[in-house]
Amino acid sequence: MLSLKLPQLLRVHQVPRVFWEDGIMSGYRHPTSSALDCVLSSFQMTNETVNIWTHFLPTWYFLWRLLALAGGPGFWSEPYHWPLLIFLLPACLYPFASCCAHTFSSMSPRARHICYFLDYGALSLYSLGETRRWWAWGGGAGAFRGRGGAASARSPPQAHPSGLSSCPAYPQAAPSPMPPTPCRPPGCTAACTSSLSPPPHSIPSCAPASPATPAVLSPPRFPELESPGLSKILRTAAFTYPFLFDNLPLFYRLGLCWGRGPSCGQEALSTSHCYHLFCALLTGFLFASHLPERLAPGRFDYIGHSHQLFHICAVLGTHFQLEAVLADMGSRRAWLATQDLPLGLMGTMATLGLVVAGNLLIITAFTASLFRAPSTCPLLQGGPLEEGTKAKLQ
């Protein structure tokens, strides 16, 4: 009879520093686990188990919503619905990528970084989906000036439904129906940089033998270990910047309708918009604060620590965001029919493909930098810490 032995769990002083989590003292998996061990650990109570399942199950929920909506009457025959694909496809992808990252991140330090590079790339795509849904259905009335017809010749160039150009670096760009894709890859870059910076700087303990080694061949830096504060700022900014930028139309409508109630017309917001904003703020707070485990280290190792709550709030925020999208699609359809036609199916998928290609190039560059680091580098060794270091921590 087949018998599977669950992997042994370790305490914080038994794993390399790169695997440490603030306030989490136990429940760590072995840092050189096999792929099978990683899968089995998802059925064992570790400090990652709830992280895995809080994004694995929602993946199937959002996939069900996508299939139900895409299979509905008139979806493929009406271009009005097509931008929903560029929102829901990343909404299915990002929780699945996160689930895989948390599952397989204990295979090795290198695998850990690569897993989260892919996780950050999926979040970048989700940010694009947020922008696309505002462009299609959620922008304020002023957002549609300059999108076509005679008004285009009199209106200033704009590439975002808030009336702002897509990126500060492209303020004079010509009018285009394309959503602001140039801002998506930098978010992925900043998130990846928070874990691993590319050359030219190197870690003294991992430096090449020859001082004449070109900078491009020198090992990468690990700001996550060298400067955890800087790493946290970069990672938080990589999430905050896209959220603020993508939701400028929501803030515009919120300011326009504040205190006006139903008289706001097509700019009126549904309760789902408010719930989405609340979940987003709570998600950011949990990610930045590491509460409650920071106040009571070891008490929330398995259930109730901030990253688990962060996952739950993020998924709830995505759910309410989808409901807000559907509310806008229904309540604003008659008004939007007087505006220009939305981006076609080919344009929608081409936009998504462009950002996927950009993110893959970024992830490839960071992964190549990671593999240039020598295997003797202590920060890339997956075994337990040396006894001297362990004694100090104990």
Q: 3-state SS of the chain: helix, strand, coil percent to 5?
A: 60, 0, 35
d(CA 342, CA 291): 43
292, 40 in Cβ contact below 8 A? no
Tell which residue, 188, 195, 135, has the closest CA to residue 159: 135
Tell which residue, 226, 242, 217, has the closest CA to residue 194: 226
Boundaries of every domain in the chain: 45-68+81-136+182-198+218-257+271-372
Which pLDDT belongs to residue 348?
72
Element (H or E) spanning 357, and its range? Answer: helix 345-372
Tell which residue, 219, 201, 222, has the closest CA to residue 209: 219
Q: Is 297 helix (H, G, I), strand (E, B) or coil?
A: coil
DSSP state of 16: -
Exposed / middle / buried, residue 339 (Cβ in 10 Å: 0-12, 13-18, 19+): middle
**Residue 274 token pair:** 């408010």
Which pLDDT belongs to residue 362?
93
Which pLDDT belongs to residue 245?
87
d(CA 288, CA 233): 9
Tell me which amino acid residue 122 is. Answer: A
Which pLDDT belongs to residue 138?
63
Chain segment 152-172, per-residue pLDDT in tens: 333 333 333 333 333 333 333
Q: What are phi and psi of 158, to 5 degrees?
A: -155, 145
- Residue 102 in marked binding region: yes
Chain segment 354-387, per-residue pLDDT in tens: 989 999 999 999 999 888 877 666 556 654 444 4
Q: Which residues of the chain have pLDDT under 70?
A: 1-3, 138-226, 259-263, 265-267, 336-344, 375-394
In this structure, the chain runs to a length of 394
d(CA 137, CA 343): 12
CATH of domain 45-68+81-136+182-198+218-257+271-372: 1.20.1070
d(CA 51, CA 261): 39
Which pLDDT belongs to residue 219?
38
What is the pTM assigned to this prediction?
0.77
d(CA 196, CA 117): 9
